[in-house]
Chain A
Amino acid sequence: MQTVTTKSLCERAASLLGEGTVAAVLGWKRGEFDYDLTPAVFTAAEELTEGFIYNDFSGANLSKYLLKKTREIDGKILVFLKPCDTYSFNQLLSEHRFDREKVYAIGIPCSGMADIQKIRKIVGEGITAIEACENSLLVHTLYDDEPISVSCAEVLTERCLNCKSKKHVAYDELIGDEGEVLTSNRFDEVEKIEALSADERFAFWQNELSRCIRCNACRDACPACTCEKCVFDNPNSGVQSKAPGGEFEEKLFHIIRAYHVAGRCTDCGECSRVCPQNIPLHLLNRKFIKDMNETYGEYQAGEYDNQRAPLVNFSLDDPEPSDVVKGGFDRA
């Protein structure tokens, strides 16, 4: 359960709208069920009362929408940001991707988001309602007379299990309690893959990426992917963004994308959240983050709104390429 209520956020948003501080509110909108929320723009108090919701399924990171919405909407936009979203917000500011003056950011605490797929694995299909209790969720289904209680910890999304920070690194106003930067275990999975032999690693990614259907949702949701026109959407580029052209092309796409966002990826986890095929794409990004940390010193993209990422920076202490790449494969 979240520690701030939908009602309190709604009231604050309505009052900022009412007094004219903001012209629109970027938040999450109720769906057909309790878990299928849609990012939405609200421009009136009644719209907020009717549709706005902040619950354990408000996972969508709203910061990327600011690119488009700040251009479309006259006046300031209120955006609600969870701690991890504020890193994306800062990173986008570093890259001058939207006008800070047009945004009113409210930081809101997050006790972790629930993964509907993990819930389905426990309770099965046919979820009709989910009630949030303090440390658990009561799940009503079509096939069980009594609701099933699942603990929130058990159904946390992967990225929340490895939460890197409960601290907001950017906001105009904070609602609820401020948290701290956490020591996470987010590189554990990466280390496991690093420990594999080259062939095993290849097989691991081959298996994961073979499921890719080239829907491009990872790219489209990624706050670091903000090119006005993606190279993969250019029919003259010689590559097809929509054709899984065999095993090679999917790897190419995901690896190119991981390289392109290296140093700019805040590890918000949207890529893996939106993947309809459950490919653990965040592991590629985390590998790059880990390598950069080890090579150039600890660096967290989005920690500040004006920092230079290791790969676009230079210092005399930088290691030589030969120190980093030993050369050759570890194939026997």
Chain B
Amino acid sequence: MLKCTLSNIDKLFEIVSASMPLYLPTEDKNGAVFKKWQPGTVWSNASNTVKGPKDLFFPQSEDLMAFKTEGKKIEVIDTRTETEDFAVFGVRACDVKSLEILDRVFLTEPRDSYYASRREHGVIISLACNRPTENCFCGTFGIDAAEPMGDVSAWLTDDALYLHANTERGQAFTKLIADLTEACDDSAVSAQKEKNRKVMKRLPLADLEANAFGGSKTEQFFHSPQWEKLSESCLGCGTCTFVCPTCQCYDIRDFKTNNGVVRYRCWDSCMYSEFTKMAHGNNRNSQKERFRQRFMHKLVYFPENNDGIFSCVGCGRCLAKCPISMNIVKVMKALEVDTDD
């Protein structure tokens, strides 16, 4: 365990930034967002960021390649730029877990080289949650917010930041800041964890369980009469999908330029009417079907294909942001009632 006094924290950011870009939560007009540290940047210890660190690995929109045409000749151009090493500080336990979920999608064959490259170059410094919000329910999915993972785990007490490297990359990171840290025992961190876990137990959603869901439950939930009521006022906007740290659907499009084409991809949302539109049209024609898809994917289909792992980490962002306050917690509770009947 390493200790860095809080008075040295800006110095720590400065040292890291000198060797690689460092992204950390900082207050924006809309709340905390991950931004690149620059001299003067003030780190925010907000409960969580408005959006997760997903954008740093899987941007909302990115160019994949370009095609240049000259007469009958087509040249394929690799538009990728070399990915540089970077660090992300202050990633909460839920968001660290969300990257593992994205890994299962993007790093299995066929491997997504764009995502993989950023994952290989990024070092994740997590941070335990001292003040979770009422919307937090990571415990439902077996995540311990007092014990965040990542390349380096970090804990914050009133006067110091404690760090522990979990991986080689993490060790390289702690080596970088060696001058600012000193070795210490686990007592302060243990006490902090104890405190945090006490708070977790008091969270309003602490009792929410996901046991009723999982792979092989398609038949049980697909035809539930609850979907009609749950989705009746859904606006069909993409807010839940775009603030979700585990939503990973994207669309690939071509953009015509004067003498060629730029092929890009952008996040897509299963809530949108043109989502996965095929030659024959769309396979989900009502908002009820689109709504059902989103939650069935998180609670049933994803675990079905991924060793029982849910693709929700209980970060609470959809609870905070949905314009009509419909969210996965309400869906889980309603569907569970349905199974009880």
Question: What is A's interface to B at a CB cutoff of 8 Å?
Answer: 31-33, 36-41, 60, 65, 124-128, 142-143, 211, 213-217, 219-221, 229, 233-235, 240-245, 273-274, 276-278
CA A77 to CA B177, docked complex, whole Å: 65
In whole Å, how far is A321's beta carbon from the nearest beta carbon of chain B?
33
Residue of B29, B202, B233, B272 near A278 (CB, 8 A) is B29
B window 263-279: CB within 8 A of A: 264, 266-269, 272-274, 277
Given contacts A33-B134, A126-B134, A241-B272, contact A278 B237 (CB under 8 A): no
B243 with A276: CB separation less than 8 A? yes
Residue of B31, B51, B267, B321 near A242 (CB, 8 A) is B267
B131 with A143: CB separation less than 8 A? yes
Does B235 sit within 8 A of A, measured CB to CB? yes
Given contacts A142-B203, A233-B273, A240-B266, contact A38 B326 (CB under 8 A): yes
Count chain B CB atoms within 10 A of each CB in A143, A213, A221, A273 and give the residue with the most: A213
Question: What is B's interface to A at a CB cutoff of 8 Å?
Answer: 28-31, 47, 50-51, 60-61, 131-134, 199, 202-205, 229, 232-233, 235-239, 241-243, 251, 253, 255, 264, 266-269, 272-274, 277, 319, 321, 323-326, 329-330
In whole Å, how far is A217's beta carbon from the nearest beta carbon of chain B?
4
In whole Å, how far is B157's beta carbon from the nearest beta carbon of chain A?
16
In whole Å, how far is B27's beta carbon from the nearest beta carbon of chain A?
11
Residue of A211, A241, A243 near B30 (CB, 8 A) is A211
State the majority secondary structure of interface residues on A: loop
CA A204 to CA B329, docked complex, whole Å: 37
The 5 closest A-B pairs by CB, nearest first: A243-B266, A274-B323, A36-B325, A217-B237, A220-B235
Given contacts A32-B204, A242-B268, contact A215 B242 (CB under 8 A): yes
A273 and chain B: residue at smallest CB distance: B323
5 pairs of residues in contact across A and B, judged by CB atoms under 8 Å: A60-B324, A142-B132, A215-B238, A235-B274, A245-B255
A218 and chain B: residue at smallest CB distance: B237
CA A233 to CA B274, docked complex, whole Å: 7
A32 with B205: CB separation less than 8 A? yes
Count chain A CB atoms within 10 A of each CB in B47, B134, B204, B330 and give the residue with the most: B134
Residues in B with CB closer than 8 Å to A40 are 229, 232-233
Residue of B47, B60, B233, B237 near A38 (CB, 8 A) is B233
Residue of B202, B242, B253, B269 near A142 (CB, 8 A) is B202
Residues in A with CB closer than 8 Å to B50 are 276-277
A242 with B47: CB separation less than 8 A? no
B239 with A276: CB separation less than 8 A? yes
In whole Å, how far is A159's beta carbon from the nearest beta carbon of chain B?
14
CA A234 to CA B266, docked complex, whole Å: 16
Residue of B30, B267, B277 near A277 (CB, 8 A) is B30
A216 with B237: CB separation less than 8 A? yes
CA A229 to CA B243, docked complex, whole Å: 25
Residue of B253, B325, B329 near A240 (CB, 8 A) is B253
